[in-house]
Amino acid sequence: MSVASPSSIIIHRGEETAPPSPPAPPLPLERLRLPDELDGRAGHNRAGPDVVCQLAAGNDLEAVQAWLAEFHDSPQTLRNYRKEAERLLLWALLERGKPLSSLTREDCILYENFLTDPQPRDRWCGQKAPRFSPRWRPFLGPLNPASRKVAMLIVNALFSYLVKAGYLAGNPLALARRRSRGHQPMRQVERFLEHDQWQALLTTVDGLPRDSERDCQHHARAKYLTALLYLLGPRVSEVAEHTMSSFVQIRGRWWWRVIGKGRKEAQVPVNQDMLQALRDYRRFHGLPPLPTPDETTPLVLNLKGTGGIGDNMIYRIVKDLVAKAANRLEADDPHQADKLRRASTHWFRHTSITHQADAGIDIQFLQRNARHARIDTTGLYLHAEEKEWHETMERHRLKE
């Protein structure tokens, strides 16, 4: 099936003007059949003949599919990226009447504006429906500022990939004006533990001695603290400053309510692994399995259970654990051991967010879990289903 021409075209017959045909509904990527003039073979932004393309793709649809294939091992990420690439491609065809590989910087500005109110609404928006249903539409409605930002980040990633692959000559979004002061080029986060390193750490914690009462106290605290730092991704100061009452139950689900950087309040889902770690730790200290709303017990206790511990003690516990785990890896993989030995408490936060991304947790939930400052500029509340957000966190497990 071919994509219909843009609905704004009017056919003139002498003095008469034929009314425009009803907007053609968009089709999902799997059902697109592009006419030659819109398939991108001759796109204005295609790389020149002197550039060797690293893709076998001959047209825009095949190029997008090649990019999406990179995420075959992460189903949730694949769905999110397909959604945004699909929206852009369909908009280019149906609203601009041009292939994706002919889009300019001006087109990208128009597209970002389009996301605020996709029109005509009957063509672009509808209720949730199966992808191959006649009722399927690319949007449920307008995107809020945070969702628009995520959409454009994904589109930028698509363009960047196609440029690196030698399919496109340039990325029209690379010209976008930076809106933040003191912007620095993005660098990949490197201070995190790989999955093998993380498993070595967990094995180390499980193997801590329990010969004396003090050993048992240290083991219980290390096991709980490891779960806390990994499953909630807190900053070390937040662990030291909060009490058990920061765990709250809302509509049958547990959350960690945290006052973080800049004294901003947020909440993070507490999944079943974290809830079990909390129960085990509290039972060890003779406390009821779950906290009460007014409880003043520190989030992490000293070995005797008589008070809390500060930033420095948390740092020392973590450094001791990673050193022991590094020794375990030293003989087989000194490179991994060296990286593990350099890890600190803040590495656990980076590890948490990185592993959540690896588990395919939606990018908008990652941003909320990380509580990055830039999210506050787009509003604390993203219009996402709380139940879905919480359930996705069950993919982020303490033990894989």
Each residue's pLDDT tens digit, 321-349: 999 999 988 888 898 889 899 998 888 98
Q: Are residues 118 and 223 in the same domain?
A: no
Q: Are residues 149 and 253 in the same domain?
A: no
Q: What are the backbone dihedrals phi and psi of residue 255, each rounded to the nearest 5 degrees, phi first?
A: -135, 155
Q: Which residue has the higher pLDDT, 274 or 356?
A: 274
User: Residue 174: what pLDDT?
Assistant: 81
Q: Are residues 356 and 226 in the same domain?
A: yes
User: Residue 3: what pLDDT?
Assistant: 46
User: Is 226 domain-assigned?
Assistant: yes
Each residue's pLDDT tens digit, 53-112: 999 999 999 999 999 998 887 776 788 889 999 999 999 999 999 999 999 999 999 999
Residue 304: domain span: 195-395
User: Residue 24: what pLDDT?
Assistant: 67
Q: Are residues 343 and 220 in the same domain?
A: yes
Q: Are residues 214 and 305 in the same domain?
A: yes
User: Is 145 domain-assigned?
Assistant: yes
DSSP 41: T
Exposed (0-12), middle (13-18) or buried (19+): which is 62, by Cβ within 10 Å? middle
**Do 118 and 124 meet the contact criterion of CB atoms below 8 Å apart?**
yes
Which whole-number Å values give the CA distances from 167 to 37, 200, 307, 353, 397, in the listed order?
A: 18, 41, 61, 32, 38
* pTM check: above 0.85: no
Each residue's pLDDT tens digit, 108-145: 999 999 999 999 999 999 998 999 999 999 999 999 88
| Average pLDDT of the segment spanning 178-188 | 44
Q: Are residues 116 and 242 in the same domain?
A: no
Q: Are residues 369 and 222 in the same domain?
A: yes
User: Is 365 domain-assigned?
Assistant: yes
Number of domains in the chain: 2
Q: Are residues 294 and 372 in the same domain?
A: yes
Q: Are residues 114 and 262 in the same domain?
A: no
Whole-number average pLDDT of the chain: 84
Kind of pairing, strands 265-269 and 253-259? antiparallel
**Do 139 and 118 meet the contact criterion of CB atoms below 8 Å apart?**
yes
User: Residue 126: what pLDDT?
Assistant: 93
